[in-house]
Amino acid sequence: MPRITHVNGRYLSHRDAMVHVEDRGYQLADGVYEVIAIYNGRLIDNDDHMMRLDRSLSELRIDWPVNQRALVPIMEETIRRNNVRHGKLYLQITRGVAPRDHAFPKAPKSSLVVYASPIKWPGRESAKSGQSVITRPDIRWLRRDIKSVSLLPNVLGKQEAIDAGADDTWFVDSKGYVTEGTASNAWIVTKDGELVTRPTNEDILAGITRKTLLRLIAEQKLKLVERPFTVDEAKQAKEAFFTSTTALLRPAVKIDDTVIGNGEPGEISCRLIDDYYDYMERESDGAEQ
């Protein structure tokens, strides 16, 4: 089945889906994006993703390319045309096409691209396999709360992890505190069983999976505190893990050369993986099979 992509009001063959050479997203990274999980044919946490998208657009003063209410049917139609049952939806909005200039164009027309890709989500037990991360200085810009398409430091961090034989990089600020991963939020579990993750502000992206997990943690009445933690504290933690739309929740059993806990995914991490899969199944309950 050929892949279909939505580009500015048209559904096109994926290989023919193109944007103009002077699209500001292509030339200036002047745009934002969202990645949304598709489970049993349904978008997971879509309302939260749309709220974050609205905020990112507002912070960069980019207009919505279509009415907000019209966007969800476009996304759902893209999923339908690609027959994606399990996968991810990528959505990108840029300031549009204009002669190259740092200043905003006077009458911009925002550009919209939407496509859906199949993913074979790991089974619960596979998701509980241990991951490794390395730590590196955070060299990104200071508005990480905006989900901008400007991701070069993230790309370099991810490649550095791969080159080191690790799964991801955790960025570290100038004070020695972990900010986040290249595409994920970072968590630890202290030896007292307290879950710790950095609070959301301009230092990190407010992850949607993170937001959902906070609700699940509250339901389980687990101990939680939102505060920064250092690399040294992470290495001495009982457990560590990271969350994102595509990773869901993955245990980190090694940070740099330090084994975390006993080197196996921890009890709390594994319990939360089960809780999150239960949540996705509830959210997609009744979807067409």
pLDDT digits (tens, 9 = 90+) for 215-272: 999 999 999 999 999 999 999 999 999 999 999 999 999 999 999 999 999 999 999 9
Q: How far apart are CA 118 and CA 120, in angstroms?
A: 7
Using the predicted structure, report yes or no on whether residue 128 has a pLDDT greater than 50.
yes
Evaluate whether 242 touches 181 at the Cβ level (below 8 Å).
yes
pLDDT at residue number 286: 53
- pLDDT of 281: 94
Residue 263: which region, alpha, beta or left (left: phi > 0; alpha: psi -120 to 50)? left
Under 8 Å between Cβ of 280 and 220: no
Rounded to whole angstroms, the Cα distance separating 243 from 285 reads: 23
Reported as a pLDDT band with limits 50, 70 and 90, residue 285 is confident
Give the pLDDT of residue 2. 82
Q: Do residues 189 and 238 lie in contact, with contact meaning Cβ atoms separated by under 8 Å?
A: yes
Is the predicted pLDDT of residue 287 greater than 70, yes or no?
no
Q: Pick the catalytic residue: 147, 158, 238, 254?
A: 147
Q: What is the DSSP letter of 265?
A: -
Percent over 70 (pLDDT), the chain? 98
Whether 109 is catalytic is no
What is the mean pLDDT of the segment spanning 86-104?
97
- Reading the block at residue 96, the tokens are 């549009």
In this predicted model, what pLDDT tens digit does every residue of 134-156 receive, in sequence order? 999 999 999 999 999 999 999 99
Average pLDDT of every residue of the chain: 96
